[in-house]
Amino acid sequence: MTDFFKKAFSDMKESARAQHEVDKANFAAAKAESKAQREEARAMGKPGTRKAMMQAERDRQIEEANARKAEAEARISKAQGK
């Protein structure tokens, strides 16, 4: 019976340590994300940086739109049997 309790408490201790590691990793990730958002907000205050970031976003949107257009044209060709 005592062996059962030793094993159970050992398992609980191991589980608590593992959960602590997960919590530490999640906290570090949240902290890094928060800092990244703060730095991005600070950078958006600078006109040159804001312009570059907005242009990069527009370029990404154009690229996505062109990919969707190419996919749609391929579907049209396939439907027409070409």
Q: What pLDDT, in 10s, does the model give residues 22-77? A: 999 999 999 999 999 999 888 888 888 889 888 999 999 999 999 999 999 999 99
Structure tokens at 25: 């990793």
pLDDT at 6 over 90: no
pLDDT at 12 over 80: yes
pLDDT at 82 over 80: no
51 CB-near residues (< 8 Å, 6+ apart):
none
* Nearest partner of 41 among 62, 33, 56, 58, judged by Cα: 33
pTM of the model: 0.54
Looking at residue 50, what is its pLDDT?
A: 85
Looking at residue 8, what is its pLDDT?
A: 85
